[in-house]
A and B are shown apart, each in its own frame.
Chain A
């Protein structure tokens, strides 16, 4: 390049057309009269950091959130109190690291060591890029070549149905899938409520929702405590919930199923079950009774390391003190923790039915959500028929019930992508590689895809593999309403009044319709703004009415226990015909977890969510960072002595999948054969400036599953749960 002369340079710099066009006022307009100082404005919203959806009230002043508190009108939810996670909302709103504009990758190389070299693009450019790539895949390889990693929420499902792909993959393999599938198969519905406050006896298996600061659970649980309920917690570690229990039983990891089967055995054998309930509301008792005869407490003792006498005592109390309930939710022992956990979830439901507290006061119950029109109803759409379109990750129909619930896919996603030629492009909505166990393998799968679009609020680890990143509104910037689903003993909805958007972001409804328009699927492009009013109208409501009611619509309907269950028999099926027809075990049966300790990998591993962390949703909160910015290896003193380590020394945790280095925390509150570490750490995507570098992602030592493994587990893993802790570890001094 020849150097320029001063004259040439000045010729270029004398203020031409472009300069004139850009020289006007860009950022200002004149005001003709002084505006009065803006007062504080009050808005209602529900918290979307976790699914408790606690009602909140916040105040805005001059574009800033200046105060936030719980909504006292939300009686079923927060009842005026927010948890620590909810209070992080104003900091998330004003977080400088949030995504602010659509971004396009300019570096085609992908990997943890690659800078994507983003550039800002307009929304039109972004939609065109996504639309072009998705349409090409749609035309050349068919709709099933498009993978959608998203929850089954209205706009996610609209995108799926409009495209006509069966391949929507959801995180629930690592969350509540077992409970969902077991609940629907055995009782016809998902169990999503719990009435601890009226229970007199509560037993939990790995249950630690209060320890995760799940607001509604916490409130209910502490009310039970105050009301004098006896509480028993089975858990390999002394969790926060176990600390508040009357009895902590440090059960061997992966063996909760044996304890449950033994309890069922004792309750039936000693005639302690609720005969009236069993007779009127269940079928299959005649098959269950001989089936559990072999599961004696003495048999269970050898497996789960709990004295037979203790199991007998707990079973007797559980069968004779009414109402008794299981503390139950998501990633407890019936969650996708071990490969036998579906059987655990199934056994929990059977036990609950035997004591007559399934969908009854003082027990577990189904959510009573309002009947709302769907997107299909509101816009009168006719979607392509998905019947008979096979999913790419289920060639032999391994877990039909999990897929029917539209809530499966993560456990085998990497294996299926790496070994199948069908997937070409993918959209990820608020999912991250850290949502997966064995993310190293999943990242290899991501490199195989032709094009990835990521919709999120932050530049996450997943975003580092994306070709286009679309910034979504922070939930508090979105308007509409939220259906209460947790703890909904009666229909309730909460008003969502969005705060002003701070960045060039869009709602997911707008994003979905932008993509569909760019794909030229015009029959399914709708105005998302009409959806909320239409849904509210169906309930005889509008936003003003909700506002006048303090941001909460509470139907006030009295709780009506279910008389007719949505199963083939209309009753709770202790012998499940639904599971049987799908090729799964119709009654809970003992099966060993996938892995047992060996001389090479001698320890079990369990995980925990910290109360102030919602996975990585609020990981960029600088105040929460101060509470604990790393996860630790929690080990028993005898293990520390054996390893020659003390508090704050470093150790390596190693499994066949990978290894991570953690600081030691020595505690009596864990079994000597088990190590615990916290989930929600190990951010390597530097886009989240606060959270970057905290601790290690324990997912890097946890397994994902192959389709071949799932096939072997078909009888027992009906939920397709990943068995996230079904591995063993070696601990060495670092």
Chain B
């Protein structure tokens, strides 16, 4: 259940470069509305806008993403990486190093993309969780330096890292977002962290 939700969140946490990206945000959202009912009216609002005026909607999302997460006339209100929250507002701080260690435990290496999202970027961490959920059987665990079960790694990653910063990020996002997609992303992150807290031992 959680893997598609994580896939949606990962997509929403990436820069909406193109119309295809916006379409993907919509196409991946079906499981999300089952998991988080509050998302549906907001996503419907977004879909209506998208159908009516895709060009304007795309640019509005690009401006909103830039304003919230990258560069803004009023300072960046919601940096999307862990180091900001855990390492006194730095970029690529110790938290980035910590995440790379987790990825390596599952036989994965962080790969730099064209937008150079750091290893502790929200989208990267969400993809890691998605992989743990989705790809337990095929992940190349045998090559990892330390072999852990997906569950143990999930729990360790969540409790020692992800859940230490994502709730703060989600609160800031909820406060500053003006477009439905980012309001839904904030709700999703909050729900994800709260759900895990409510169900101690819950696994993907």
Residues of A within 8 A of B (CB): 1-4, 9-10, 12-19, 21-23, 25-35, 62-64, 91, 94-101, 103, 106, 115-120, 122, 459, 464, 501-504, 622, 685-687, 689, 692
Q: Which of A18, A91, A120 interacts with B20 by CB under 8 Å? A: A18
Assuming the A-B contacts A26-B14, A686-B73, A689-B75, are A96 and B90 also in contact, with contact meaning beta carbons closer than 8 angstroms in the complex? yes
Contact B75 A25 (CB under 8 A): no
- The segment from B100-108, B152-160, B165-173, B189-197 that touches chain A is B100-108
Contacts of B48 in A (CB 8 A): 1-4
Contacts of A19 in B (CB 8 A): 11, 23-24, 27-28
Q: How far is the CA of A141 from the CA of B129 in the complex (A)?
A: 56
Contact B30 A28 (CB under 8 A): no
Contact B27 A18 (CB under 8 A): yes
Contact B52 A1 (CB under 8 A): yes
Contact with A along B41-67 (1 / 0, CB 8 A): 001100111001000000100110111
Contacts of A29 in B (CB 8 A): 108-109, 111
Assuming the A-B contacts A31-B107, A103-B71, are A118 and B114 also in contact, with contact meaning beta carbons closer than 8 angstroms in the complex? no
- Name the interface residues of B80-117: CB closer than 8 Å to any CB of A: 83-84, 88-94, 96-97, 100, 103-104, 107-111, 113-117
Chain B residue at smallest Cβ distance from A36 = B145
Contact A94 B73 (CB under 8 A): no
Assuming the A-B contacts A26-B113, A27-B124, A29-B111, are A21 and B44 also in contact, with contact meaning beta carbons closer than 8 angstroms in the complex? no
Q: How far is the CA of A27 from the CA of B6 in the complex (A)?
A: 14
Q: How far is the CA of A99 from the CA of B44 in the complex (A)?
A: 34
Q: Which of A34, A63, A685 interacts with B144 by CB under 8 Å? A: A34
B187 at the interface (CB under 8 A from A): no
> B16 to nearest A CB, angstroms?
9
Q: How far is the CA of A73 from the CA of B91 in the complex (A)?
A: 31
Contacts of A100 in B (CB 8 A): 70-71, 116
Q: How far is the CA of A101 from the CA of B103 in the complex (A)?
A: 26
Q: How far is the CA of A118 from the CA of B75 in the complex (A)?
A: 12
Contact B43 A9 (CB under 8 A): yes
Q: Which of B21, B92, B104 interacts with A63 by CB under 8 Å? A: B92
Contact A687 B73 (CB under 8 A): yes
Q: Which of B43, B76, B123 interacts with A689 by CB under 8 Å? A: B76
> A441 to nearest B CB, angstroms?
22
Contacts of A16 in B (CB 8 A): 23, 27
A interface, by DSSP: helix, strand, loop or mixed?
loop
- Name the interface residues of B110-164: CB closer than 8 Å to any CB of A: 110-111, 113-118, 121, 123-124, 127-128, 131, 140, 143-145
Q: List 14 A-B contacts (CB under 8 A).
A: A1-B49, A4-B48, A13-B43, A28-B131, A30-B109, A31-B143, A32-B140, A32-B143, A64-B93, A96-B79, A100-B71, A118-B71, A120-B66, A686-B72
Contacts of A9 in B (CB 8 A): 33, 40, 43-44, 47
Contact B47 A117 (CB under 8 A): no
Contacts of B114 in A (CB 8 A): 122, 504
Contact A27 B72 (CB under 8 A): no
Q: How far is the CA of A440 from the CA of B64 in the complex (A)?
A: 29
Given contacts A13-B43, A22-B21, A686-B73, 10 further A-B contacts (CB under 8 A): A4-B47, A19-B27, A19-B28, A22-B11, A27-B110, A62-B96, A62-B97, A94-B93, A100-B70, A100-B71
Contacts of A117 in B (CB 8 A): 63, 67, 73
Contacts of A17 in B (CB 8 A): 23
Q: How far is the CA of A661 from the CA of B143 in the complex (A)?
A: 64
Contacts of A101 in B (CB 8 A): 70-71, 115
Q: With a 10 A CB-CB cut-off, give which of A4, A14, A27, A34 has the most chain B CB atoms.
A: A27
B74 at the interface (CB under 8 A from A): yes
Assuming the A-B contacts A13-B27, A34-B104, are A27 and B43 also in contact, with contact meaning beta carbons closer than 8 angstroms in the complex? no
Contact A63 B75 (CB under 8 A): no
Q: How far is the CA of A10 from the CA of B144 in the complex (A)?
A: 40
Contacts of B91 in A (CB 8 A): 94-96, 98, 502
* For the complex of A and B, 4 pairs with smallest distance between CB atoms: A34-B145, A18-B23, A19-B27, A13-B30
Q: Which of B11, B89, B93, B128 interacts with A28 by CB under 8 Å? A: B128
Contact B109 A118 (CB under 8 A): no
Contact A13 B29 (CB under 8 A): yes
Assuming the A-B contacts A29-B111, A64-B97, are A106 and B63 also in contact, with contact meaning beta carbons closer than 8 angstroms in the complex? yes
Q: How far is the CA of A136 from the CA of B115 in the complex (A)?
A: 30
B interface, by DSSP: helix, strand, loop or mixed?
helix
Q: Which of A4, A35, A96, A106 interacts with B104 by CB under 8 Å? A: A35
> A579 to nearest B CB, angstroms?
47
Give the size range of B's interface with the partner: 35 or more
Q: How far is the CA of A27 from the CA of B21 in the complex (A)?
A: 16
Assuming the A-B contacts A4-B47, A13-B29, A502-B92, are A99 and B71 also in contact, with contact meaning beta carbons closer than 8 angstroms in the complex? yes
Chain B residue at smallest Cβ distance from A4 = B44
> A105 to nearest B CB, angstroms?
10
Contacts of A34 in B (CB 8 A): 104, 143-145
B26 at the interface (CB under 8 A from A): yes
Chain B residue at smallest Cβ distance from A13 = B30
Q: How far is the CA of A643 from the CA of B9 in the complex (A)?
A: 61
B177 at the interface (CB under 8 A from A): no
Contacts of A97 in B (CB 8 A): 75-76
Contact A13 B143 (CB under 8 A): no
> B186 to nearest A CB, angstroms?
19
Q: How far is the CA of A15 from the CA of B30 in the complex (A)?
A: 8
B7 at the interface (CB under 8 A from A): yes
Chain B residue at smallest Cβ distance from A98 = B91
Contacts of B107 in A (CB 8 A): 30-31
Contact B75 A14 (CB under 8 A): no
> A502 to nearest B CB, angstroms?
6
Q: How far is the CA of A119 from the CA of B59 in the complex (A)?
A: 8
Chain A residue at smallest Cβ distance from B106 = A28
Contact B62 A27 (CB under 8 A): no
B182 at the interface (CB under 8 A from A): no
Contact B89 A622 (CB under 8 A): yes
Contact A28 B111 (CB under 8 A): yes
> A455 to nearest B CB, angstroms?
15
Q: How far is the CA of A239 from the CA of B124 in the complex (A)?
A: 52
Assuming the A-B contacts A62-B100, A94-B92, are A15 and B71 also in contact, with contact meaning beta carbons closer than 8 angstroms in the complex? no
Q: How far is the CA of A464 from the CA of B14 in the complex (A)?
A: 25
Contacts of B75 in A (CB 8 A): 97, 686-687, 689, 692
Contacts of A1 in B (CB 8 A): 48-49, 52
Contacts of B65 in A (CB 8 A): 119-120
Contacts of B124 in A (CB 8 A): 27-28
Contacts of B79 in A (CB 8 A): 96
Contact B70 A120 (CB under 8 A): yes
